[in-house]
Structure 1
Amino acid sequence: MASRQLDDKNSHRKPKARPRPVNPITAAIQNWITASLPPLESDGQDLRNESLINSAPKRFTIYEPLALLPTGSFTSETWASILGVCDEAVCNSLWQSILQEISKTGQGVVTHLAVNEGIPLHKAGEEDENVRRSPSGLRMLFGDFGPSEGVGDYPTKSDFEGAFWVGTKQNGIFQKWAPRWTMFSRGNVKEKARLLGFNRPSLTKRTREEQGEIWAVDLYAGIGYFVFSYAALGMRVLCWEINPWSVEGLRRGALANKWSVKVVEGDDLLLPVSQLLAGEERIIVFLESNEKALERVGEMQETGLARNIEHVNCGFLPTSEPVWKSAWEVTRFAPEAWLHLHENVGVGDIQSRRGSIQGTFEAWAAASGADLRTPKVEHAEQVKTR
Structure 2
Amino acid sequence: MLSRAPPQKRQNPIAAAVSSWLQHVEPSLVEPSTGAQLVEKAPKRWVVYEPMVLLPSGSFTSAPWPALLGCLGAAQQALLWEGILQAISSASAKAGPGLTHLAVNEGIPLHVADPQHEQQTMPTQTENLLRSPSGLRMLHGDFGPAGSQLSATSSQTDFAAALWVSTKQNGIAQTWAPRWTMFSRGNVKEKARLLGFHSELQGRRLTHRHRSRDELRDKWAVDLYAGIGYFVFSYARLGLRVLCWELNPWSVEGLRRGAKLNKWSVRVVRGGDELSSIPTAELVAGLDEQIIVFLEDNMEAERRVAEFRASGPTLDVLHVNCGFLPTSLPTWRPAWAIQTQGRAAADGWLHLHENVGIADIEHRRKEIQAVFDQWDKTAESGANSKRANVELVELVKTFAPDVWHCVFDVHITDSRVCNEGRLT
Aligned residue in 2 for 1:383: 396
Aligned residue in 2 for 1:324: 332
* Amino acid of the structure 2 residue aligned with 1:372: S
Aligned CA distance change for structure 1 residues 205 and 184 (closer, same or farther; 3 Å): closer
- The CA distance in 1 between the partners of 2:3 and 2:178, in whole Å, is 49
Aligned residue in 2 for 1:57: 43
Aligned CA distance change for structure 1 residues 130 and 175 (closer, same or farther; 3 Å): same
Q: CA deviation at 1:150?
A: 7.4
Aligned CA distance change for structure 1 residues 270 and 20 (closer, same or farther; 3 Å): farther
Aligned residue in 1 for 2:21: 32
Aligned CA distance change for structure 1 residues 300 and 101 (closer, same or farther; 3 Å): same
Gaps of 5+ in 1: 1-9
1:257 lines up with 2:262 in the alignment: yes
Three-state SS of the structure 2 residue aligned to 1:341 is strand
Aligned CA distance change for structure 1 residues 205 and 318 (closer, same or farther; 3 Å): closer
Q: Point out the structure with the larger helix share.
A: 1
Q: CA deviation at 1:207?
A: 3.3
Residue 117 of structure 1, aligned match among 89, 92, 106: 106
Aligned residue in 2 for 1:191: 190
Contact 2:104/2:138 (8 A) holds in 1: yes
Alignment of 1:137-148 (within 5 A): 137-148=135-146
Aligned residue in 2 for 1:233: 238
* Amino acid of the structure 1 residue aligned with 2:94: Q
- The CA distance in 2 between the partners of 1:151 and 1:260, in whole Å, is 25
Would you identify which runs of 4 or more consecutive aligned residues in structure 1 move more than 4 Å?
Answer: 149-152, 266-271
Aligned residue in 1 for 2:5: 16
Aligned residue in 2 for 1:107: 94
Aligned residue in 1 for 2:385: 372
Alpha-carbon RMSD: 1.8
- The CA distance in 2 between the partners of 1:330 and 1:149, in whole Å, is 36
- The CA distance in 2 between the partners of 1:39 and 1:76, in whole Å, is 20
Q: How many aligned positions are there?
A: 369
Three-state SS of the structure 2 residue aligned to 1:174 is strand
* Amino acid of the structure 1 residue aligned with 2:321: N
Residue 245 of structure 1, aligned match among 245, 250, 254: 250
1:273 lines up with 2:276 in the alignment: no
Deviation string for 1:123-155 (max 9, x for gaps)? 134321010111100000000000115776131
CA radius of gyration, larger in: 1
Aligned residue in 1 for 2:308: 300
* Amino acid of the structure 2 residue aligned with 1:45: E
Deviation string for 1:186-211 (max 9, x for gaps)? 01000000000011667425535xxx
- The CA distance in 1 between the partners of 2:18 and 2:49, in whole Å, is 22
Range with bigger deviation, 192-201 or 263-272: 263-272
Three-state SS of the structure 2 residue aligned to 1:362 is helix
Question: What's the % identity of the aligned pairs?
Answer: 53
Aligned CA distance change for structure 1 residues 52 and 67 (closer, same or farther; 3 Å): same
- The CA distance in 2 between the partners of 1:229 and 1:155, in whole Å, is 27
Gaps of 5+ in 2: 114-122, 200-208, 401-424
Q: CA deviation at 1:305?
A: 2.7
Contact 1:151/1:159 (8 A) holds in 2: no
Contact 1:297/1:306 (8 A) holds in 2: no
- The CA distance in 2 between the partners of 1:230 and 1:270, in whole Å, is 30
Deviation string for 1:297-331 (max 9, x for gaps)? 01111223353101011000111000001111111
- The CA distance in 1 between the partners of 2:277 and 2:169, in whole Å, is 36
Aligned CA distance change for structure 1 residues 277 and 269 (closer, same or farther; 3 Å): farther
- TM-score calculated relative to the size of structure 1: 0.91
* Amino acid of the structure 2 residue aligned with 1:183: M
Aligned residue in 2 for 1:135: 133
